[in-house]
Amino acid sequence: MLQRDKENRELRKRNRERMADTRNRLLHVGKETDGPKMSVEQLEDIRRKTLEKEALDKASARRVLRYYAIGAVILLLLGGLLIGCNRRPATYHRENGWYQVVNTNADGLAREPIVTAKDFETLRLDTDALGKLIIFGQVHPYYVNHWAVETEKAIGRQIAFVFNDSVVSDPFVNTSIENGHFSITSPCDQLLTTIHETLNRETSRSYQDSLFQLITSQLRQEANDYQTTLTDTTFLKTKGMMSHAAIDVLNGSGFNRHAYYNQVIYLEALDRARRRLSIQNGQVVFPCHTGKELNMAEDLFLFIQSFFEDWNRWLKTDKYLLIKDEKGLYTVVPVKNPTPS
């Protein structure tokens, strides 16, 4: 209602101005000519000039409105940029790290962290596809399972990275992150250089080493406990494709939390296969052709079969001996003092 009244007042004002302008033009013409005897051409000229002035007034008003609109957009963009650069402050003091976004607290963040900066194993400052700075990181292997559980809880919601009691990044979570990876972004990406340097200083190498010893001890114990449950009828399969990397604690992908489990499976499968070996002309003979014959996964079977082929190549060099170990099973060992070739 107020807007309509305002528009009506503006319309009446423009009509009064147009009438006054027309009157002035008529008076001006009347001084130079006989008003009552004005020609049709003169009257038409007055009407045309009046309409032209009205059109110019409308165009000027549109330009003013356009400038106001552009100014408002610029102010909004600057305001958003300042908010992004200054970051959203948290109500409570929190350690630098990742937090769940909740609705129960005043600032919308959980009081306890998912992980803190000292729980990070690696941090790397890089650029994304658009050339903006980004921090790539990974939590310590000890917290990988915890990270996966917490990110699964947050599917469809946000988690927040807090630095100096301000929210720097709050990405949406689409799936459980099982490898411990994360990335930190910011509208003002130049801030990430300082953040990266600070987080690296917070990472304690001694703390990381103690966590590594703790998790390796825990995983080794779990693997040994599983070994006691194995029987000749247990189907043997490693976690992931069987390879040298599968049984290495540290491989090209970093810490391998399945290494101890895979080592137990591999050694059990190797013993099953060695029980089938025979010797002909100083070479081992492995009579099996598929993993099904030994109740094991095919990739594990092929890995062991290839290992026996390596044995035979080594035995041809006269630098290795074929012996039986304490279990009474064949194995190959290097000669202590090989004859020079």
How confident is the model over 13-27, as pLDDT tens digits? 766 666 666 556 555
Residue 244, classified by CB atoms within 10 Å of its CB into exposed (0-12), middle (13-18) or buried (19+), is: exposed
Sorted by sequence, the CB contacts under 8 Å of residue 251 that are 6+ apart come out as: 245
Residue 246 has pLDDT above 50, yes or no: yes
The reported pTM is: 0.53
Q: Structural domains in the chain? A: 2-86 (no CATH), 97-203 (3.30.1360.200), 209-334 (no CATH)
What is d(CA 321, CA 311) in angstroms, rounded to the nearest whole number? 10
Angle ∠(189,133,202) on CA atoms, nearest 5: 85
Q: What is the pLDDT of the chain when averaged over all its residues?
A: 81
Distances, alpha carbon 3 to alpha carbons 6, 16, 56, 131, 314, in Å: 5, 20, 24, 47, 95
How confident is the model over 214-240, as pLDDT tens digits? 888 888 999 999 999 999 999 999 999
Query: 3-state DSSP call for residue 332?
Result: strand
How confident is the model over 168-214, as pLDDT tens digits? 999 999 999 988 999 999 888 889 999 999 998 887 666 777 777 88
Strand partners, 127: 133
